[in-house]
Chains A and B, each alone.
Chain A
Amino acid sequence: AQSVSQHNHHVILSEAASLELGCNYSYGGTVNLFWYVQYPGQHLQLLLKYFSGDPLVKGIKGFEAEFIKSKFSFNLRKPSVQWSDTAEYFCAVWNAGNMLTFGGGTRLMVKP
Protein backbone atom coordinates (compact mmCIF):
# COMPACT_ATOMS: atom_id res chain seq x y z
CA ALA A 1 0.00 0.00 0.00
CA GLN A 2 1.11 3.50 -0.69
CA SER A 3 2.35 5.55 2.23
CA VAL A 4 3.45 9.13 2.68
CA SER A 5 5.86 10.19 5.42
CA GLN A 6 6.44 13.67 6.75
CA HIS A 7 9.48 13.58 8.96
CA ASN A 8 8.87 16.65 11.06
CA HIS A 9 5.74 16.71 13.16
CA HIS A 10 6.40 20.07 14.76
CA VAL A 11 8.68 22.84 13.55
CA ILE A 12 9.31 26.13 15.31
CA LEU A 13 11.11 28.91 13.45
CA SER A 14 11.75 32.58 13.86
CA GLU A 15 10.60 35.00 11.21
CA ALA A 16 12.96 35.25 8.23
CA ALA A 17 14.34 31.77 8.85
CA SER A 18 14.41 29.34 5.96
CA LEU A 19 12.01 26.42 5.89
CA GLU A 20 12.28 22.92 4.53
CA LEU A 21 9.66 20.28 5.26
CA GLY A 22 10.38 16.74 4.23
CA CYS A 23 8.00 14.43 2.40
CA ASN A 24 8.73 10.91 1.20
CA TYR A 25 6.37 8.45 -0.42
CA SER A 26 6.52 4.75 -1.10
CA TYR A 27 4.74 4.29 -4.43
CA GLY A 28 6.98 3.30 -7.33
CA GLY A 29 4.74 4.20 -10.24
CA THR A 30 3.60 7.46 -11.71
CA VAL A 31 2.52 9.92 -9.07
CA ASN A 32 1.16 13.39 -8.78
CA LEU A 33 2.35 15.30 -5.73
CA PHE A 34 0.70 18.02 -3.69
CA TRP A 35 1.32 20.23 -0.71
CA TYR A 36 -1.67 21.57 1.17
CA VAL A 37 -1.79 24.09 3.98
CA GLN A 38 -4.37 24.40 6.73
CA TYR A 39 -4.30 27.70 8.57
CA PRO A 40 -5.78 27.74 12.08
CA GLY A 41 -9.56 27.51 11.87
CA GLN A 42 -9.59 27.26 8.10
CA HIS A 43 -9.93 24.54 5.53
CA LEU A 44 -7.27 22.91 3.41
CA GLN A 45 -5.82 24.99 0.62
CA LEU A 46 -3.58 23.87 -2.21
CA LEU A 47 -0.07 25.35 -2.02
CA LEU A 48 1.42 23.71 -5.06
CA LYS A 49 1.32 20.58 -7.18
CA TYR A 50 3.57 18.56 -9.42
CA PHE A 51 2.35 16.50 -12.35
CA SER A 52 5.24 16.44 -14.81
CA GLY A 53 7.97 18.58 -16.29
CA ASP A 54 10.28 20.78 -14.27
CA PRO A 55 10.78 19.03 -10.91
CA LEU A 56 11.10 22.36 -9.15
CA VAL A 57 7.59 23.63 -8.62
CA LYS A 58 6.69 27.10 -7.47
CA GLY A 59 3.49 27.67 -5.55
CA ILE A 60 1.64 30.46 -3.84
CA LYS A 61 3.01 32.67 -1.07
CA GLY A 62 6.64 32.07 -1.99
CA PHE A 63 6.62 28.33 -1.44
CA GLU A 64 8.35 25.88 -3.72
CA ALA A 65 8.91 22.14 -3.75
CA GLU A 66 11.36 19.87 -5.50
CA PHE A 67 10.47 16.44 -6.80
CA ILE A 68 13.43 14.07 -6.62
CA LYS A 69 12.30 10.86 -8.21
CA SER A 70 15.32 8.82 -7.16
CA LYS A 71 14.71 9.70 -3.54
CA PHE A 72 10.89 9.44 -3.70
CA SER A 73 10.83 12.88 -2.13
CA PHE A 74 8.89 16.10 -2.56
CA ASN A 75 10.24 18.53 0.02
CA LEU A 76 8.61 21.90 0.59
CA ARG A 77 10.77 25.00 0.95
CA LYS A 78 10.48 28.70 1.62
CA PRO A 79 13.55 30.95 1.86
CA SER A 80 12.14 33.28 4.50
CA VAL A 81 9.09 32.46 6.59
CA GLN A 82 6.64 34.93 8.04
CA TRP A 83 4.47 34.78 11.13
CA SER A 84 1.48 34.32 8.83
CA ASP A 85 2.92 31.01 7.63
CA THR A 86 2.01 29.45 10.96
CA ALA A 87 -0.18 26.54 9.91
CA GLU A 88 -0.26 22.81 9.39
CA TYR A 89 1.21 21.51 6.16
CA PHE A 90 0.22 18.27 4.48
CA CYS A 91 2.01 16.44 1.72
CA ALA A 92 -0.22 14.28 -0.47
CA VAL A 93 0.45 11.79 -3.24
CA TRP A 94 -1.94 10.66 -5.92
CA ASN A 95 -1.20 7.45 -7.73
CA ALA A 96 -2.69 5.66 -10.68
CA GLY A 97 -5.01 3.84 -8.30
CA ASN A 98 -6.92 7.11 -8.08
CA MET A 99 -6.37 7.59 -4.41
CA LEU A 100 -4.95 10.60 -2.66
CA THR A 101 -2.82 9.65 0.33
CA PHE A 102 -1.87 12.24 2.92
CA GLY A 103 1.18 12.43 5.09
CA GLY A 104 0.85 12.90 8.81
CA GLY A 105 1.15 16.66 8.64
CA THR A 106 3.71 19.10 9.98
CA ARG A 107 2.68 21.80 12.39
CA LEU A 108 4.73 24.95 11.77
CA MET A 109 4.92 27.74 14.27
CA VAL A 110 6.67 30.95 13.28
CA LYS A 111 7.69 33.22 16.12
CA PRO A 112 7.44 36.94 15.39
Chain B
Amino acid sequence: GAVVSQHPSRVICKSGTSVKIECRSLDFQATTMFWYRQFPKQSLMLMATSNEGSKATYEQGVEKDKFLINHASLTLSTLTVTSAHPEDSSFYICSAREDIRGYYGYTFGSGTRLTVV
Protein backbone atom coordinates (compact mmCIF):
# COMPACT_ATOMS: atom_id res chain seq x y z
CA GLY B 1 0.00 0.00 0.00
CA ALA B 2 0.88 3.65 -0.19
CA VAL B 3 3.43 4.82 2.35
CA VAL B 4 4.29 8.31 3.49
CA SER B 5 7.50 8.86 5.37
CA GLN B 6 7.73 11.84 7.71
CA HIS B 7 10.95 12.96 9.40
CA PRO B 8 11.92 13.67 12.04
CA SER B 9 9.49 11.95 14.36
CA ARG B 10 10.56 14.07 17.31
CA VAL B 11 12.54 17.27 17.51
CA ILE B 12 13.46 19.59 20.33
CA CYS B 13 14.74 23.01 19.40
CA LYS B 14 15.59 26.25 21.10
CA SER B 15 13.34 29.24 20.86
CA GLY B 16 14.23 31.38 17.85
CA THR B 17 15.64 28.61 15.72
CA SER B 18 14.05 27.02 12.64
CA VAL B 19 13.01 23.43 12.14
CA LYS B 20 12.39 21.61 8.88
CA ILE B 21 10.00 18.66 8.63
CA GLU B 22 10.03 16.42 5.56
CA CYS B 23 7.16 14.47 4.11
CA ARG B 24 7.86 11.93 1.36
CA SER B 25 5.53 9.69 -0.59
CA LEU B 26 7.56 6.53 -1.06
CA ASP B 27 5.78 4.60 -3.75
CA PHE B 28 3.46 7.04 -5.43
CA GLN B 29 3.40 10.56 -6.75
CA ALA B 30 1.53 13.16 -4.80
CA THR B 31 0.74 16.40 -6.57
CA THR B 32 -1.02 17.54 -3.44
CA MET B 33 0.08 17.19 0.16
CA PHE B 34 -1.50 18.55 3.29
CA TRP B 35 -0.02 19.74 6.54
CA TYR B 36 -1.98 19.36 9.75
CA ARG B 37 -1.40 20.36 13.31
CA GLN B 38 -2.79 18.52 16.29
CA PHE B 39 -3.06 20.18 19.67
CA PRO B 40 -3.34 17.99 22.76
CA LYS B 41 -6.74 16.38 23.07
CA GLN B 42 -7.94 18.09 19.91
CA SER B 43 -8.55 17.05 16.35
CA LEU B 44 -6.39 17.61 13.35
CA MET B 45 -6.44 21.14 12.05
CA LEU B 46 -5.52 21.74 8.43
CA MET B 47 -2.73 24.30 8.17
CA ALA B 48 -2.07 24.38 4.47
CA THR B 49 -2.41 22.59 1.18
CA SER B 50 0.83 22.08 -0.68
CA ASN B 51 0.75 21.76 -4.47
CA GLU B 52 3.74 20.59 -6.43
CA GLY B 53 5.36 23.41 -8.32
CA SER B 54 3.19 26.18 -6.93
CA LYS B 55 2.64 28.16 -3.77
CA ALA B 56 0.93 26.55 -0.85
CA THR B 57 -2.57 27.55 0.14
CA TYR B 58 -2.79 28.45 3.81
CA GLU B 59 -5.83 28.19 6.01
CA GLN B 60 -7.13 31.26 7.75
CA GLY B 61 -5.10 32.16 10.79
CA VAL B 62 -1.97 30.29 9.72
CA GLU B 63 1.06 32.53 9.27
CA LYS B 64 2.64 31.70 5.95
CA ASP B 65 5.85 33.50 6.82
CA LYS B 66 6.21 31.39 9.90
CA PHE B 67 5.27 28.05 8.41
CA LEU B 68 7.12 27.82 5.12
CA ILE B 69 6.00 25.06 2.81
CA ASN B 70 7.92 23.83 -0.19
CA HIS B 71 6.67 21.14 -2.57
CA ALA B 72 9.52 20.94 -5.01
CA SER B 73 8.86 17.46 -6.36
CA LEU B 74 6.02 15.00 -6.72
CA THR B 75 7.25 13.00 -3.77
CA LEU B 76 8.51 15.59 -1.30
CA SER B 77 6.97 18.43 0.67
CA THR B 78 8.70 20.24 3.50
CA LEU B 79 7.36 22.37 6.32
CA THR B 80 9.79 24.77 7.97
CA VAL B 81 8.80 26.34 11.25
CA THR B 82 10.79 29.56 11.33
CA SER B 83 11.82 31.36 14.48
CA ALA B 84 10.07 28.79 16.57
CA HIS B 85 8.52 29.72 19.91
CA PRO B 86 7.15 27.54 22.70
CA GLU B 87 3.60 28.06 21.45
CA ASP B 88 4.61 26.33 18.22
CA SER B 89 5.15 23.13 20.18
CA SER B 90 2.70 20.67 18.74
CA PHE B 91 2.25 17.52 16.72
CA TYR B 92 2.53 18.10 12.99
CA ILE B 93 1.23 15.56 10.48
CA CYS B 94 1.47 15.49 6.72
CA SER B 95 -0.80 13.72 4.31
CA ALA B 96 -0.22 12.89 0.67
CA ARG B 97 -3.06 12.58 -1.77
CA GLU B 98 -2.94 9.97 -4.49
CA ASP B 99 -5.24 9.98 -7.47
CA ILE B 100 -6.44 6.39 -7.73
CA ARG B 101 -8.47 5.94 -10.90
CA GLY B 102 -10.80 8.80 -10.23
CA TYR B 103 -10.88 9.02 -6.48
CA TYR B 104 -8.46 10.30 -3.95
CA GLY B 105 -6.60 8.23 -1.42
CA TYR B 106 -5.08 9.97 1.57
CA THR B 107 -2.09 8.51 3.31
CA PHE B 108 -0.74 10.06 6.48
CA GLY B 109 2.77 10.35 7.75
CA SER B 110 3.66 9.24 11.25
CA GLY B 111 3.81 12.78 12.54
CA THR B 112 6.46 14.99 14.08
CA ARG B 113 6.35 16.06 17.69
CA LEU B 114 7.96 19.45 17.96
CA THR B 115 8.99 20.81 21.33
CA VAL B 116 10.35 24.33 21.50
CA VAL B 117 12.24 25.15 24.67
Contact = CB atoms under 8 A, between A and B. Distances in A.
Determine chain A's interface SS by DSSP, over half rule. Answer: strand
A94 interface: yes
Interface stretch (B69-77, B80-88, B102-110): B102-110
Which label, helix, strand, loop or mixed, suits the secondary structure of the B interface? strand
A104 B108 CA distance: 17
A-side interface size class: 20 to 34
A68 interface: no
A51 B103 contact: yes
B42 A32 contact: no
A46 B97 CA distance: 13
A42 B109 CA distance: 10
A43 B43 contact: no
What size tier do the contact residues of chain B reach? 10 to 19
B95 interface: yes
A102 B93 CA distance: 13
Nearest to A52: B103
Contacts of B93: 43-44
A63 to B, nearest CB: 17
27 contacts: A32-B103, A34-B106, A36-B108, A42-B110, A43-B109, A43-B110, A43-B111, A44-B44, A44-B108, A45-B108, A46-B107, A51-B103, A90-B43, A90-B44, A92-B106, A94-B104, A98-B32, A99-B49, A100-B95, A100-B106, A101-B46, A102-B44, A102-B46, A103-B43, A105-B42, A105-B43, A107-B41
Given A43-B111, A46-B107, 18 more contacts: A34-B106, A42-B110, A43-B6, A43-B93, A43-B108, A44-B108, A45-B108, A46-B106, A90-B43, A94-B106, A98-B32, A98-B104, A99-B46, A100-B46, A100-B95, A102-B43, A102-B46, A104-B43
Interface of A: 32, 34, 36, 42-46, 51, 90, 92, 94, 98-105, 107
